Structure 1
Amino acid sequence: GRGLRGSKSQVSCFSRVGLVSEREADIELLSGAADFFCTKEYSCGCESDGSWPDVSFPLLQEGMPQTLSSTSMFTPCSFSPHLHTSKEDEQGGLIFQDGNLTSASLDALIQHLIPTTDYYPEKAYIFTFLLSSRLFIEPHELLSRVCHKCIEQQRLDDPVLDKARIRKFGPKILQLLTEWTETFPYDFQEERMIGHLKDMIHRIAPCDEAYWKKMNQLLQTLNQKLATLSHGQEGIVKINAAVSDKLVAFKSKPPSIQREILSVCSDPYTLAQQLTHVELERLSHIGPEEFVQAFVHKDPLDGTKPCFSDQKTSNLEAYVKWFNRLCYLVATEICMPAKKKQRAQVIEFFIDVARECFNIGNFNSLMAIISGMNMSPVSRLKKTWSKVKTAKFFILELHHFSSQIVIPFFSLLIKDIYFLNEGCANRLPNGHVNFEKFLELAKQVGEFITWKQVECPFEQDANIIHYLHTAPIFTEDGKTVQSLITENVSLYHCQLTS
């Protein structure tokens, strides 16, 4: 298993968790599981050292979320080790090592993206370059240069067009534009991008009426996708506004909170399903380019301005905030009840939810629940933990596993990309783009594209999802205050009865 962002090694790590009988072991278990995934050693995409046992997986369970299979999807196996070129190797400034494209000038890489009558770039190259090029050139400028070179090379400005040539070239440029709009739709929120796209198709359309129809279909599909994404973003903004209105800030004694998770949903499997709905909904809005834009630095060959005036990472940030919210919600729900028995019941409930998340393949919610239970206001409740049935602690059956990871532990994916970005330069000393680095980056982001297109078969429960999004949560100080209050109240009652 490579990378541990949803690999067999990650599953093996959790499968080693067994029955524990001591409270200290409980805390160590939670802490160890969280710490394991946050260590730099295991977050850089390095090979497993073989210390974790291999796990064999049965067939995918019926009714579980399934990853889509599509030729347009970018998965690690779709990246060919050889990006074939012939003349470009010597004439286009592309540098190869053992048949692999490792570096090139930005101009050479742009030229390599442009289709001709008898050439079309590999899918892996298109994705890698469109993903990474935004570190050096803005998308609208890249598309402008691509269109300009196409006009020159195919002589689209000539008074009389060579229809035979255009009929060979037309389908290829349409395919490139289609792949761009499908994979990076947020790029086309800019009017300049739409303008370049329309201009190119208008130039080739006189040679074949079918190109007009293709353009209309492309634009219609793009508009629908952007409308869906925009609607999702607006929904997240509304949710965040509602949460801000309900946040509970503590100065001394926290006010009472009327509802608890067990009054909304008492079935762990149902809650795990609804958490999976939320995870997949949030994932679907994240554009692959956000992973690059999150780590944008000023291009050393351009001393005037960074490549982006603002970092367009709102969906990525919203997903990270969701993880943090779930951590705090778990801690809040545990700290709220006044009696030890009730708090222990909530802990046992979340242990069951975590197990169901694991069985589904929802590792992000699983780790959020673990992190919430491992927060100090929760871990310090020794009398509460003494009431927890330790037999519930992560008895994970291998035969329950699904054969595909559905939702990875997202923080680990971010760490992988961060360390790759920090550990390798974007440009080589000769000014060439370090394409070898960006091919590795594209592999990691390609995995994410596969994950976020998972189909969720579970029925949605609006009431539960609304609660997950809007239930008041304690602040950091609030959790500590409530923890101290509940523990001291329990101690006081013990003293009265003794």
Structure 2
Amino acid sequence: MFTQNADAVNFCREGRDRMFSHLLRLCREWATSIPHDFRSEHMRTRLNELLGLCSVDRNYKQKVTDLQSSLRSAINKLERYDKAVKSLQKTLAENTQRPLQSDLLVGLITVCSDPKIVAQQLTHIEMERFSMVGVDEILLALANNDLADLGRNRNGPMGSISFYVEWFNRLSSFAATEVLRQLKKKHRVEVIEYLIDVAKECCEIGNFNSLMAIVAGLSLPAITRMKRTWSRVEKSKLEILQHQLDPSGNFLSYRATMKAAQWRAESAGSSQRIVIPFFVLLLKDLFLVYHGSVRSLPNGHLNFVVSCGFQCFHAGDFG
């Protein structure tokens, strides 16, 4: 870029503007799409050196200032999230008390009896945690050749992917625990139907990750073996939701519902454009695409088409 503008003929005002515009666009795309790369002081310094080349007039200086401010906000958000995750993990590790069983109706249903509100709150949590999963972290996870270890971080602090996968498991366990806390059959029936309604509302919103977690929790052996309880539950709703978990045809039913939700989101208003995928299945799909693609060209260059394809899986494109 600098070589082609090195002589006086090419390095005219129009040429400079074009070069600086391209350079600024590159920096903006990088900093916006993968802010995780600039968490180190070294990378921020190198970025500022590049941006310094673009500060040729008042207009470009303002654009550079805006980009630097936006990047600082994104990095501060990442750091606050990391601190919150560590604090939450510590609290969960220290909380060893088992949930108490009771003859009275207890649990989430007594705190909020409206399934729609609970589904909305779950969706807020999902959107926050999904949005914190960076493209770079996804690519690092995909580089692991073991599908069973996908998203796990055995060495070092828990990453956003591991934390999000653990959230799914905890939500699934929570759904089962809410049922098991009830000593009376009528209360178990009430809680099961309540959780089914929450899962249904999640499906209506487009929150498929919470939907799958709740249905998975209600499908655990500890819950399904309660024959007398289930005999009084309206099972038709659950069977419809369980159909989404059917792995036949590579989750054909779920994929069809997901596609319909994406189509609906595209034609909806901004407040309704929410589609949160079943995250573990999304990771497995990306793993197969990543390892089934040619990532390097014969000349050693990066396969740009494949790399750009992964950008569409960025968390911001789903919700």
Q: TM-score range by the shorter chain?
A: 0.7 to 0.9
Aligned equivalent of 1:359: 204
Displacement of 1:153 after TM fit? 4.3
1:313-340 CA distance string (max 9 Å, x none): 7111111111111000001111111122
- Write the letter of the residue equivalent to 2:127: L
1:450 partner amino acid: D
2:117 alignment partner, one of 252, 267, 270: 270
AA matched with 1:423: G
Equivalent-residue separation in structure 2 for 1:366 and 1:227 (angstroms): 31
The alignment yields a C-alpha RMSD, in angstroms, of 3.0
Amino acid at match of 1:345: E
- The equivalent residue for 2:280 is 411
Asked if 1:246 is matched to 2:95, the reply is: yes
1:263-412 correspondence runs (5 A): 263-296=110-143, 314-393=159-238, 403-404=264-265, 406-412=275-281
**Who is 2:51 aligned against?**
201
Residues of 1 paired with 2:298 and 2:54: CA distance? Answer: 41
> More relative contact order in 1 or in 2 (CA 8 Å, sep 6+)?
1
- Cα-to-partner distance string for 1:335-389 (whole Å, 9 max, x where unaligned): 1111222111111111111111111111111110110011111111112212223
Pairs within 5 Å for 1:417-436: 417-427=286-296, 431=300, 433-435=302-304
From 22, 33, 47, the counterpart of 1:172? 22
The 1:168–1:390 alpha-carbon spacing in structure 2 relative to 1, beyond 3 Å, is closer
**Do the aligned partners of residues 152 and 191 (structure 1) sit closer, same or farther apart at CA in structure 2, a change above 3 Å counting?**
farther
The corresponding residue for 2:152 is none
**Pair 315,255 (structure 1): closer, same or farther in 2 beyond 3 Å:** closer
- Separation in structure 2 between the aligned mates of residue 435 and residue 245 of structure 1, nearest angstrom: 46
1:256 equivalenced with 2:106 (yes/no): no
SS of corresponding position for 1:294: helix
- Following superposition, the deviation at residue 272 of structure 1 comes to 0.8
Bigger Rg, structure 1 or 2: 1
Percent of aligned pairs with the same residue? 35
Taking the aligned partners of 1:209 and 1:431, their CA distance within structure 2 comes to 40
Q: Using the TM superposition, give the Cα deviation of residue 196 of structure 1 relative to its aligned residue in structure 2, in angstroms.
A: 1.7
Give the AA of the match of 1:184: I
Question: Measured at CA, do residues 227 and 297 of structure 1 come closer, stay the same or move farther in structure 2, by a change above 3 Å?
Answer: same
Q: Is the 8 A contact 2:54 2:61 kept in 1?
A: no
SS at match of 1:289: helix
Cα 1:267–1:374 change in 2 (3 A) is same
TM-score between both structures, scaled by the size of structure 2: 0.76
More helix by share: 2
Counterpart residue number, 2:86: 237
Hey, what does 1:215 align to over in structure 2? 64
Q: Tell me, which stretches of 5 or more residues in structure 1 are unaligned?
A: 1-149, 249-253, 299-309, 455-498
Task: Report the AA paired with residue 79 of structure 2.
Answer: S
Q: Compute the displacement of 1:198 (Å).
A: 1.9
Q: Deviations over 1:254-298 (max 9, x none)?
A: 662685111212111111111111111111211122211112259
Alignment of 1:152-163 (within 5 A): 152-155=3-6, 163=13
5+ long unaligned stretches in structure 2: 146-154, 242-256, 266-273
| Matched letter for residue 100 of structure 2 | S
Matched length: 278
Q: Report the Cα distance in structure 2 between the residues aligned to 1:281 and 1:386, rounded to whole angstroms.
A: 38
Matched, 1:450 2:317: yes
In structure 2, do the counterparts of structure 1 residues 433 and 215 end up closer, same or farther at CA, with 3 Å as the change threshold?
closer
Which residue matches 2:244?
none
Aligned to 1:186: 36
Equivalent position of 2:310 in the other structure: 441
